[in-house]
Amino acid sequence: MPFPYTKVLVIGATSGIGKALATKLVQNGTQVVIAGRRKENLEEFVQEYGSEKVKSKVFDVMNLEAIPQFASEVISENPGLDCVFINSGIQRPFDFANPESVDLDVFDQELITNYTSAVRLTKAFLPHLQKQPTQTAIAFTTSQMALVPMMRCPNYGASKAALHHFILALRTQLQDGPGNVKVLEIYPPAVQTELHDAKHQPDLKDGHLIGMPLQEFIDEVWAKLTQGEEQIPVGSAKDIFEAFEVQRQGIYQQMTEMLAGLLKQFLR
């Protein structure tokens, strides 16, 4: 089946997974709006593929108070928007065995980028998606570390796990409407992007070579998106997902049904 959405916003599209995903969308005939901090990267992308196929908007997800205005402008300029990819993410190492080395400002920046901004963007765009007469979607890039943490990056794993739990609850809440909003989650393994490069994790040697080749990753993601899958674990994330996440989500569904029954007794 073809990709079902015609006008897609990709947030965090100036590099890495977001840029590769936006490229794949454009190459397959989808109208794209790309957003991110680096104006020059956005302009280069528009020049490469043409303003008739791509629009761009400079935005930093760390600017939480500006998210409602950002969403309002994007929707006003693109009333046919039917899919939003929330992809922004950063990864930093923290060693709490050496507390003096932990920069809590950097810690907070990572948490806001990976989790808090995603929640606020969801709230900002959902009303528009819910009002559309056709199926719409909101999609998130989490991580295999949303399922299993890594000692080196405790905050990254924790922030992605928080987002993953939010996504599970969001999908359940939206099942009964209003609208027809699908909730998608992509679980990357380590992928060869600037997430691990010398600028962002200078203690790593050739960090940008860590993990799965980016194009290989995007090709697999795209194949599953066009098959209509809502949860897309890739590479080693697939092994982790199949090992226990399917069972864990089954338990979540059982608990949800049980709690729904209990709440009927107490909610007015």
Q: For the segment 36-49, what is each residue's pLDDT rounded down to a tens digit?
A: 999 999 999 999 99
Number of structural domains (the chain) is 1
* Per-residue pLDDT tens over the stretch 33-87: 999 999 999 999 999 999 999 999 999 999 999 999 999 999 999 999 999 999 9
**Backbone phi and psi for residue 212, each to the nearest 5 degrees, phi listed first:** -75, 135
Residue 1 lies inside a defined structural domain of this protein: no
Cα–Cα distance, 268 to 266 (Å, whole number): 7
Cα–Cα distance, 195 to 143 (Å, whole number): 12
Judge residue 120's burial from the number of C-beta atoms within 10 Å of its C-beta, 0-12 exposed, 13-18 middle, 19 or more buried.
buried
- Domain containing 226 equals 7-264
Q: What is the percentage of the chain residues whose pLDDT exceeds 70?
A: 92
Residue 146 lies inside a defined structural domain of this protein: yes
* Per-residue pLDDT tens over the stretch 88-131: 999 999 999 999 999 999 999 999 999 999 999 999 999 999 99
DSSP-based three-state secondary structure for 132: coil
| Entry pTM | 0.92
Residue 170 lies inside a defined structural domain of this protein: yes
Domain CATH number, residue 256: 3.40.50.720
Residue 2 lies inside a defined structural domain of this protein: no
Residue type, 228: G
- Cis bond upstream, residue 79 (ω within 30): no
